[in-house]
Structure 1
Amino acid sequence: MKKLLLILSNIVFFANAQQNTFSKIIVDTVSFYGAPNIQAVVATNDNGVIVTGGLSFNGTFTGAATVLKIDSSGNVIWGKAFSRNNYYSYITCIAPTNDSGFILAGNNFTNTNDINLLVAKINSNGDTLWSKSLHPNTCRHISPRSILQTNDSGFVFTGVAIGDSSQGVGIIVCKLDLNGNPQWTRFITTDPVIGASARGNAIQQTADGGYIISGIICSGIYNGNQYEACIIKLLPDGSLSWAKKYKTTSSENCEGTGLLLENSGFVALVCIDDKRAALMKTDLSGNVLWAKIVAKSFNRNTSLTAKCHKNADGSYLISSASCFGSSMTKTDSMANIAWSKTFSLTGLDALELSDNGFFIIGRSPVCENNEFIHPKGGLGIIKTDSLGNQATCVSSVSEVAVSESMVASPANLNSFTKVVSNSVVPDVNNFNNLASSPGCLDFSGAIHPNDFGNDVVVSPNPSSGVFTLTTFSFDNAKYMVYNSMGELIWDSRYFTLRTEIDLTGFPKGIYFYKLFYQATGKVVSGKLITTD
């Protein structure tokens, strides 16, 4: 028996050892103002990924919607840019199609500063089969958050939009045929009171041909401004079947950010109070069966979103981001944690590949006031083995799933029919000015470690908890230290050339320091690693 166990353990070790792992940074080699501000990722059949977002022009927030193909070694194979009349465009969601292509959805701004829908179909080589700009009547500032191909080879997406003055901010759901022509559009809102709003974050098609959506509902200022997660069931024609909202027993704010189909119900990823993420299992009517905390969470007011996927073995993969680092957690089918990893880039998503390893895609972890800002940095890629390990940029953490009590109640929603029209097809161009190189994105998002000269020397690092930081500038400055969730845990009371930072009272892991020069606004940042 012992011999058999030894043989099996050697087989597992050998299999993991054969997996290709790496970490790379992708930058714009022309303007050197980073890589695309990515929004969505999907795996390809050849063990690579398609990355979508928006490409900045000359370091500004104007530019083109972008689509990148990255191979299994982290190299950029091709890039496409969608734009029209030099107005800013970006892609916010992507899904595979049954012909090995992809469907994209996003936004493009107009000369009236409005935001229209951008939808495009591409093949596996990135060639555009069709692209359209769509305009729902009496809706504006439309932002799609999730798209998929439907059973009839058409498409459906959900997101958020602003309706007319009596409807406020609500969930938009739009069904398209296989050529991208609108078939029906629904706008779903809560009570029309000040501050009330709703947003759809994820959509799936159910076995009856209808749809299930997870998202968030805000009750408005007259009802306590409570944010609650929601699950909404639609019939095949988009009309409401049922809707439920969810909160913890202590009435913390909640948001549904991911949704998976199961034979007996649904699994939703619910972010609670901007601090932790839970997997919540419901039956087919939306009644809660169980919920467990599986990861730290994100700030609801940022563009960061926790995501979940189902792996080939039936387990779940949860990725969760903050402004100062991210995590990837694998659980079993009952949400018990198998392992959890952290990394310093702001992880957009983590996907399982056909070799059972994982692809982590993220961007430079740069924030101000816990809001993501465009980095002078790049796009980070980490390829791990099947256990989530990678030698240079990934750290293991000990996490245990904790049961959470979730309360479900009916959600009273209103549904409006909208008419959508087509518009001009955007221009599509190739671009090949992105290059990849080995490395890890650090806290500052800087690509070159010498960008700031030798302003700060940290010793020792890693340490058991006490660090000495020495600066060679006499400019007035202040040190701040943050944990991996972006919470300020220490700051200097006055400026000295040599500063001792004691983190022995905090859990072992990765922390981030920021040295802020008050006169010039210059910021120098880096990692502090505490070990046993």
Structure 2
Amino acid sequence: MLRHIPLFVSFMVIFANGISDSIHAQTKTNSLVYYLENDGIQVNAADRHAGGGYLLSGGGYMSGFIAKTDENGNPELVKGVADHVISDIIHEADSGFTTVGYRQTGNNILNLMRWNAQADTLWTMNLELNRVWYPRLRRLANQDYLISATTMTEASELAPLLLRVSPQGALLWSKIYEPTSNEPAYAYSAAELPDGNLLITGYIASPGNYRVLLTQTDAQGNPLLSRTFAFQNTYHNACYDVVQGEEGITLLCETDNDIALMRIGFDLNPLWGKSFHSYFYLYFNESKGNLIRNTDGSLLLSGSSDWGNFIKTDSQGTPEYILDAFMYMADAVPADDGGTMLFGNGPLIGVKSFPGYYPQIGVYRCDSLGEGSSCVGKSTPFFEEAEIDSEDIQFIATPAGILQQNPAAIYELEFLSEAACVSFIGNVQNNITESGQILACPNPANTWFSVDLSQEMHKKFSRLEIFSSGGQIVYKTYDPSIAAGAIPCNHLPAGIYLIRVIAGNKSYSGKISIQH
């Protein structure tokens, strides 16, 4: 059995037919957990492998990792990278892969590595900067690599970073983009436009007014146009990923903590916006989620709220289904059968199903209809149309970084494995969830109960949820009037349940015993 140790890593794959009680190596199982003996780790990114299966990258305490699995989630290859975080990974046609990350000590070396199919490094490119955060990796139409990140200027201001690298690892150019307004600016992703120009996405942080940032450059990184966007009547807006198609540019956004989509024309004028009834909350994640455009124009978006959210929409952003995954979402990768593998981190906050807890990496599989295991549940699709404001802004680009030798120590790493489901912790090291703040009456309950909420909870009410002791959601409502009425429970098996209310940017929890 898994031992109750304070910190280690697990990597879980849960398939649609439920939870298995045993593991059979190198076969298809319902759930797998990979973990290290005495350390913690998290996944930052994932991708398909050219030869089948999946690629993962991430980091832990003073080390990073890359991993290759087969189609069924069995680990085939795992390597550790000392003193580095591996932030992103993309597959190569020769069954190798390329990663981008940064040195953990000081966060001042950006590291691009090309690996062969056996996870031997073919070349590395190391760029010394003041600091590096949130690097993302894209491949351009001519096979060059495009890397976006947030860095720090010589004046200690946060600013977007963009660099272009040849397929052989030669740095073509690298530039920092500083706004003339001297406001902190962040980059989280980048894309190539149909005309060969490039687009940096992120946000700019004015006091009390954060706005989505788009900066368009030519193929050499020279700025052409910069514009900021905000959903009307909001104060916090950011962009975490971008895709483009013939319909325009689509952005995965955050608006006042809600997950949102924004559609922009190639002239950088806003077309439409939609926000979804779930908020971003990133307890373990470096990754902010991702956005995928399918060939038919439909969209797959993942983000983290009080747990993971995965949303499929049509080409106009109208949701077809919304999934709640019991983890903090980091990435999603389409499977060959039309389903999707969801990647994220744990444990979750606010539910404790048994003594002890296990920091984990979770990977859940759902089919093309959004059906999955008991660790993935469907939510009622909900969205709101949102108007968008835009403003122009000026940026100045300057060369950035110095090439350095930074040999990384690569070593063999082994994941231990056992059948399990994602664990939860009861408000450990958490300053968001306030436990014991919800009172249920009667308690124990038989056929119904009501909850007593404070005035602040009523005013900022977002939703109410009930979990079983195993962590499965058994009830959810977005209706604030339910707090003043009776909640039926006669259909629930006897046991201890956790009640959670999301109000504003806080979670409140309480317990109820149901007896029949």
Q: Same fold (TM over 0.5)?
A: yes
Among candidates 143, 157, 163, match of residue 133 of structure 2: 143
Residue aligning to 2:468: none
Question: What secondary structure is seen at the aligned counterpart in 2 of 1:415?
Answer: strand
Does residue 24 (structure 1) correspond to residue 31 (structure 2)? The answer is yes
Unaligned runs of 5+ in 2: 1-15, 18-26, 351-356, 428-439, 452-456, 466-475, 490-496, 501-508
Residue aligning to 1:378: 360
Equivalences for residues 189-228 of structure 1 within 5 A: 189-191=178-180, 193=182, 196-219=183-206, 224-228=207-211
Residue aligning to 1:286: 268
Residue aligning to 2:418: 437
Q: TM-score, normalised by structure 1?
A: 0.72
Residue aligning to 2:3: none
CA distance in 1, matches of 2:66, 2:426: 22
What does the per-residue CA deviation read over 1:8-56, in whole Å, with 9 as the maximum and x for residues that have no partner? xxxxxxxx99xx997534332532x44x31111112235522110113x
Among candidates 227, 252, 256, match of residue 269 of structure 1: 252
Among candidates 29, 39, 61, match of residue 44 of structure 2: 39
CA distance in 1, matches of 2:447, 2:310: 25
Among candidates 232, 252, 260, match of residue 249 of structure 1: 232
Residue aligning to 1:109: 104
Equivalences for residues 448-459 of structure 1 within 5 A: none
Q: CA deviation at 1:132?
A: 3.3
Distance 1:47-1:342 versus aligned 2 partners, 3 A rule: farther
Is the CA contact 1:23–1:380 (under 8 Å) kept in the aligned structure 2?
no
CA distance in 1, matches of 2:218, 2:488: 49
Q: CA deviation at 1:412?
A: 1.9
Q: CA deviation at 1:238?
A: 0.4
Distance 1:23-1:134 versus aligned 2 partners, 3 A rule: farther
Residue aligning to 2:167: 178
Is the CA contact 2:37–2:416 (under 8 Å) kept in the aligned structure 1?
no
Does residue 258 (structure 1) correspond to residue 241 (structure 2)? The answer is yes
Question: What secondary structure is seen at the aligned counterpart in 1 of 2:33?
Answer: strand
Question: What secondary structure is seen at the aligned counterpart in 1 of 2:291?
Answer: strand
What does the per-residue CA deviation read over 1:318-357, in whole Å, with 9 as the maximum and x for residues that have no partner? 11213x3111111110111111111221121222111101
Matched letter for residue 116 of structure 1: I
**Coordinate RMSD, CA, aligned:** 3.8
What does the per-residue CA deviation read over 1:400-434, in whole Å, with 9 as the maximum and x for residues that have no partner? 332111111112222212243131321212212x1
Distance 1:466-1:211 versus aligned 2 partners, 3 A rule: same
CA distance in 2, matches of 1:152, 1:245: 29
Question: What secondary structure is seen at the aligned counterpart in 2 of 1:505?
Answer: helix
Matched letter for residue 28 of structure 1: Y
Is the CA contact 1:106–1:118 (under 8 Å) kept in the aligned structure 2?
yes
Equivalences for residues 503-522 of structure 1 within 5 A: 505=483
Matched letter for residue 197 of structure 1: P
Is the CA contact 2:330–2:345 (under 8 Å) kept in the aligned structure 1?
yes
Distance 1:230-1:508 versus aligned 2 partners, 3 A rule: farther
Residue aligning to 1:70: 69
Distance 1:338-1:465 versus aligned 2 partners, 3 A rule: farther
CA distance in 1, matches of 2:445, 2:126: 51
CA distance in 1, matches of 2:367, 2:445: 24
CA distance in 2, matches of 1:487, 1:140: 41
Residue aligning to 1:6: none
CA distance in 1, matches of 2:58, 2:297: 29
Residue aligning to 1:154: 144
Question: What secondary structure is seen at the aligned counterpart in 2 of 1:179?
Answer: coil
Matched letter for residue 361 of structure 1: F
Distance 1:238-1:489 versus aligned 2 partners, 3 A rule: same
Q: CA deviation at 1:176?
A: 1.3
Does residue 187 (structure 1) correspond to residue 176 (structure 2)? The answer is yes
Distance 1:463-1:98 versus aligned 2 partners, 3 A rule: farther
Equivalences for residues 311-460 of structure 1 within 5 A: 311-322=294-305, 324-366=306-348, 376-432=358-414, 434-444=415-425
Identity of aligned residues (%): 18
Among candidates 84, 89, 109, match of residue 84 of structure 2: 89
Alignment size in residue pairs = 433
CA distance in 2, matches of 1:402, 1:424: 48
Unaligned runs of 5+ in 1: 1-15, 56-60, 369-374, 447-457, 469-481, 491-501, 515-524
Matched letter for residue 227 of structure 1: Y
CA distance in 2, matches of 1:508, 1:379: 35
Q: CA deviation at 1:76?
A: 1.2
Q: CA deviation at 1:168?
A: 1.0
CA distance in 2, matches of 1:462, 1:384: 35
Distance 1:280-1:29 versus aligned 2 partners, 3 A rule: closer
Is the CA contact 1:187–1:418 (under 8 Å) kept in the aligned structure 2?
yes
Please identify, of 264-273 and 120-129, the stretch whose mean Cα deviation from structure 2 is larger: 120-129
Is the CA contact 2:51–2:95 (under 8 Å) kept in the aligned structure 1?
no
Distance 1:304-1:237 versus aligned 2 partners, 3 A rule: closer
CA distance in 1, matches of 2:444, 2:260: 33
Does residue 164 (structure 1) correspond to residue 150 (structure 2)? The answer is no
Q: CA deviation at 1:489?
A: 7.8
Q: CA deviation at 1:526?
A: 11
Equivalences for residues 431-510 of structure 1 within 5 A: 431-432=413-414, 434-444=415-425, 466=449, 505=483
CA distance in 2, matches of 1:184, 1:242: 19
Is the CA contact 1:144–1:157 (under 8 Å) kept in the aligned structure 2?
no
What does the per-residue CA deviation read over 1:414-458, in whole Å, with 9 as the maximum and x for residues that have no partner? 2212243131321212212x1333332132299xxxxxxxxxxx9
Distance 1:512-1:211 versus aligned 2 partners, 3 A rule: farther
CA distance in 1, matches of 2:213, 2:444: 44
Distance 1:304-1:505 versus aligned 2 partners, 3 A rule: farther
Residue aligning to 2:222: 239
Residue aligning to 2:126: 133
Residue aligning to 1:477: none
Residue aligning to 1:10: none
Q: TM-score, normalised by structure 2?
A: 0.74
Q: CA deviation at 1:114?
A: 4.9
CA distance in 2, matches of 1:213, 1:437: 41
Residue aligning to 1:498: none
Question: What secondary structure is seen at the aligned counterpart in 1 of 2:131?
Answer: strand
Distance 1:508-1:186 versus aligned 2 partners, 3 A rule: farther
